[in-house]
Amino acid sequence: MNLEYTGRKVTKLAYRFLTTPADIYHSLVTHRLILCQLIRRDILARYRKSYLGILWALLTPMLTFVVYFYVFSNILRVRFTSPVPNINYNYGIILFSGIMLHLFLTEVLNRSPVLVLENVNFVKKVVFPLEILSLVAIGSAMVPLSLNYLILVGAIFLFNGTVQPTIILVPLVWIPFFAVVAGISWVLSSLGVFLRDIVHVVGLFSTLLLFGSTILFPANNLPNFLKILILFNPLSVPVHATRNLALWGLIPNLNYLTIYTGFAIIFLWFSAFWFTRTKRGFADVI
């Protein structure tokens, strides 16, 4: 009798998960061991059969950096104006400080539409928290992002001879960005079950986010309406804050960060609520 009651209680909780911000936190705490194990398995599986192994986590962004650096520095000759006197950086470093966030976002977006489809065995388990699949993808993508962060610190030190003390605050301004990415992943992983074509749209969406942000070019010379439009890009505020803290030693615009954080919380709740409601139909479709 107790087992039957417990089973009904767990099943009920499984459907209540993520209906409030408190449930999101509760889900993370409750399933932290499962989450860590799945992230570890995902990372090992990704590099297990490759000759260079986890070195690809370093080589991929570095090669991407070289391509963008050559095109925009030597051909298009793009320049960023320094907001701080006597502190100027090579365009490659400025570019890398933003492109690493786009690489992180792209990796999560590309995996999200097939997360549920690639884990059908978990769908059949009623009490398995399917919401953590997106968190596994994010946790796995944080490994190359962390390496890129270390590369950025090393590049700044080699180029400038010193590192701004505010650079240690960079991971803090990424927290709302991670929340937005988690929300997007929940929406895409849910839609991917019902709309299989969405996997082909994600690549275009990721490219639009790249060129619709201030990663590749400064926004100083853009018309005012485009400057406002770019702020709606989920990459713009984190990239701007990262550059202020890591490169210039400046505190980012707190108004923008506050608004962005508020949006991240609301969007995370909405996405979690959406995923919780739609996951009830996963088993029927799959």
pLDDT in tens, 116-161: 988 888 877 657 788 899 999 999 999 889 988 988 998 899 888 8
pLDDT band at residue 283 under the 50/70/90 scheme: confident
Give domain status of residue 103, yes or no.
Answer: yes
Res 21: pLDDT: 60
CA dihedral over 26, 45, 201, 218, signed as positive or negative? positive
pLDDT band at residue 200 under the 50/70/90 scheme: confident
Give domain status of residue 22, yes or no.
Answer: no
The percent of residues in the chain predicted with pLDDT above 90, rounded, is: 40
Give domain status of residue 26, yes or no.
Answer: no
CA dihedral over 264, 266, 268, 271, signed as positive or negative? negative
If you average pLDDT over residues 200-214, what whole number do you get? 91
The number of domains in the chain is: 1
Given a cut of 60, whether residue 13 has pLDDT beyond it is no
Average pLDDT taken over every residue of the chain: 83
pLDDT band at residue 233 under the 50/70/90 scheme: very high
Highest mean pLDDT: which of 36-40, 94-98, 181-185, 273-277? 181-185
Res 12: pLDDT: 46
Give domain status of residue 272, yes or no.
Answer: yes
Give domain status of residue 15, yes or no.
Answer: no
pLDDT band at residue 20 under the 50/70/90 scheme: low
Given a cut of 80, whether residue 23 has pLDDT beyond it is no
Give domain status of residue 10, yes or no.
Answer: no
In one-letter notation, the amino acid at residue 112 is S
HEC states along the chain? CHHHHHHHHHHHHHHHCCCCHHHHHHHHHHCHHHHHHHHHHHHHHHHCCCCCHHHHHHHHHHHHHHHHHHHHHHHCCCCCCCCCCCCCCCHHHHHHHHHHHHHHHHHHHHHHHHCCHHHHHHHCCCCCCCCHHHHHHHHHHHHHHHHHHHHHHHHHHHHHCCCCHHHHHHHHHHHHHHHHHHHHHHHHHHHHHHCHHHHHHHHHHHHHHHHCCCCCCCCCCCCHHHHHHHCCCCCHHHHHHHHHHHHHCCCCCHHHHHHHHHHHHHHHHHHHHHHHHHHHHHHHHC
Contacts of 6 (CB under 8 A, 6+ apart): none
Domain that holds residue 127: 31-285
Between 5 and 16, the more confident residue is: 16
Give domain status of residue 41, yes or no.
Answer: yes
pLDDT band at residue 2 under the 50/70/90 scheme: very low
**C-alpha distance from residue 185 to each of 15, 149, 199, 213 (Å):** 19, 22, 12, 20
User: For helices 236-243 and 254-278, what crossing angle results, to 10°?
Assistant: 140
Q: Are 105 and 235 in contact (CB under 8 A)?
A: yes
Q: Are 40 and 143 in contact (CB under 8 A)?
A: no
Report the alpha-carbon distance of residue 2 to residue 237 in Å, rounded.
Answer: 51
Res 67: pLDDT: 79
Res 165: pLDDT: 93
Contacts of 49 (CB under 8 A, 6+ apart): none
Report the alpha-carbon distance of residue 135 to residue 37 in Å, rounded.
Answer: 12
Q: Are 61 and 155 in contact (CB under 8 A)?
A: no
Burial class (CB in 10 A: 0-12, 13-18, 19+), 38: buried
Report the alpha-carbon distance of residue 283 to residue 286 in Å, rounded.
Answer: 5
Between 247 and 9, the more confident residue is: 247
Q: Are 241 and 125 in contact (CB under 8 A)?
A: no
Give domain status of residue 6, yes or no.
Answer: no
